Amino acid sequence: MCGIVGVISATPVNQLIYDALLLLQHRGQDAAGIVTGMGTKFFMHKARGMVRDVFRTRNMRSLPGNIGLGQVRYPTAGNAYSEEEAQPFYVNAPFGLVLVHNGNITNAHALKKELFGIDRRHLNTESDTEALINILAHELELAARDLPLTPVEVFKAVSAVHRRVKGSYAVVALIAGYGLLAFRDPHGIRPLCLGKGEGANGPEWMVASESVALEGTGHQLVRDIAPGEALFITMDGELHSQQCATAPSLNPCVFEYVYLARPDSVIDGVSVYHARLNMGETLAQRVISTMPPSEIDVVIPIPESSRPSAMQLAQKLGKPYREGFVKNRYVGRTFIMPGQAVRKKSVRQKLNAIGMEFKGRNVLLVDDSIVRGTTSKEIVQMAREAGANKVYMASAAPPVRYPNVYGIDMPTSSELIAHDRTIEEIRQYIGCDALIYQDVDAMKRAVSALNPALASLEASCFDGRYITGDVSAADFEAMKTQRATQPQDEEGAEHSRLALPNPTSAH
């Protein structure tokens, strides 16, 4: 889950893209990049780090033009420490193309072979996005050969991308001198929405991963882009759209509602905040059926993402909701940091206990999810050190038992605390006195109850069902090996965690 954005306006877009990326920072902390376009020329700046560190004033000045796109990266393929794999990607033919991607290509290893052997294209990184832009470029070349480029050829190329590329992909691309292209994979796994605003000199279109990026930059959410649909907005702001997939179906990633997205976003017609409240409600029922609520003195959330669920759970149990941990706002999200060592260290740097809320009490700690168990193990220990009598733990998501191959960085099951472990074994590992998990169906209902169109959700890491139905054993193995062989560069992780200015990375 990276954050992507694209804008077409009648005034310069560099600041607008920067602002949108800041609003999407929670989706990726490892690298950031912007490309703008003027005439047929592109201007690019990308580097490792958070948005505020990557873009200095001089970089912003060198991004002119009324059309552009940007990305914040959370790597799920390739190497977290490679500047070359930061997005956007650029290829110079046909026309000149830049592209940003949120998602993960499950057949990237096969596509890379095809690209080199058959399409005669050279890839120079381990990134799946580099394969994706080259497939799009190749298909655009075929569709537009000897023809002027119109939306018809663009949509034909997107249809070919759908046929060749498997996995999840929400994409924004610029075609030099022609316009902005945005599309979503045929299963609608990763989010992408369209917004409209009034710029200083006329209307302005923005596409973004989450509605918060639209609203926070003064745009109105128009609609979600449908699974398999492509939008092409010409340089003069004319919007064309077409369904490019043969059998599209909507299966948004349930983990967006659990953890990834901001609560103030609305994704595929469902308020993320409301979904989290619902999850708290159903989790409360699980708690009541597991233990007498009289054994609980207080409900304490593990900041940040669990707050809405914990609040609702407390209300349902009729117990006080208290803030027992304070979050250091200058430390980023731990789950999306690269490398286990830095994630572990960051939990203590990020959260600190308020002793009086724990002393002598039976506390129910609530988190949105327990994935590797890094957070819960540390937090339970901190609650005990702060003098808690009993420490119970509840998770608003069910046990995460299976790898995710659609854009969440957990390609191997062995890293997951709930893989091959019983709930009792997990409880012992975490060190709490009771452990209560949400049920898979209850989690899905918490989301789908808010929009009947969401009857199917991508929930493979919880139920082991891979919605695209085409991930082969070889694909799993290739993704696992690819990630496992990437360097675990502690220095790079430090940079990401502390978000220090990195003057050497500016070009």
Ligand X SMILES: O=P(O)(O)OC[C@H]1O[C@H](OP(=O)(O)OP(=O)(O)O)[C@H](O)[C@@H]1O
Ligand Y SMILES: NC(=O)CC[C@H](N)C(=O)O
215 binds ligand X (CB under 6 A): no
Can you give 409-462 as a three-state secondary structure string? CECCHHHCCCCCCCHHHHHHHHCCCEEEECCHHHHHHHHHCCCCCCCCCECHHH
Residue among 94 and 301 whose Cβ is closer to ligand X: 301
Residues 291-350 within binding reach of Mg ion (CB under 5 A): 305
How many other CB atoms are there within 10 angstroms of residue 151's CB atom? 20
d(CA 127, CA 177): 26
Q: Cβ distance 81 to 48 under 8 Å?
A: yes
The DSSP secondary-structure symbol of 204 reads: E
Distance in Å, CB of 393 to ligand X, minimum: 11
489 labelled ligand-binding:
no
Residue among 125 and 349 whose Cβ is closer to ligand X: 349
168 labelled ligand-binding:
no
Q: Which does 75 bind (CB under 5 to 8 A by kind): ligand Y, ligand X, Mg ion, none?
A: ligand Y
Best CA proximity match to 165, nearest among 470, 477, 476: 470
The beta-strand segments (E) located in 53-142 are 67-73, 89-91, 97-105
Q: In Å, how far are 5, 151, 369, 381, 433 from 430, measured between CA atoms?
A: 38, 54, 13, 9, 9
How many other CB atoms are there within 10 angstroms of residue 420's CB atom? 10
Binding string to ligand X for residues 286 to 325, with x set by CB under 6 A, is what? ----------------xxxx--------------------
Residue of 252, 280, 338, 373 that binds ligand X (CB under 6 A): 373
* Rg of the chain on CA atoms, in Å: 23
Distance in Å, CB of 306 to ligand X, minimum: 6
369 binds ligand X (CB under 6 A): yes
Distance in Å, CB of 363 to Mg ion, minimum: 17
76 binds ligand Y (CB under 6 A): yes
334 binds ligand X (CB under 6 A): yes
Residue of 81, 232, 335, 406 that binds ligand X (CB under 6 A): 335
Residue among 107 and 395 whose Cβ is closer to Mg ion: 395
Q: Which does 333 bind (CB under 5 to 8 A by kind): Mg ion, ligand X, ligand Y, none?
A: ligand X
Best CA proximity match to 67, nearest among 35, 102, 20: 35
Q: Where are the alpha helices (DSSP H) in 291-373?
A: 307-317, 340-350
Q: What's the one-letter identity of residue 180? A: L
Residue among 24 and 296 whose Cβ is closer to ligand Y: 24
367 labelled ligand-binding:
yes
Residue among 389 and 505 whose Cβ is closer to ligand Y: 505
101 binds ligand Y (CB under 6 A): yes
Is 253 considered catalytic here? no
Q: Which does 136 bind (CB under 5 to 8 A by kind): Mg ion, ligand Y, ligand X, none?
A: none
Q: Helix or strand or coil: residue 4?
A: strand
d(CA 62, CA 54): 13
Distance in Å, CB of 129 to ligand Y, minimum: 5
Point out the residues that are catalytic: 2
Annotated binding residues for Mg(2+), as ranges? 305, 367-368
Where does this chain bind Mg ion (CB under 5 A)? 305
Note the residues at the interface with ligand X (CB under 6 A). 259, 302-305, 333-336, 367-376
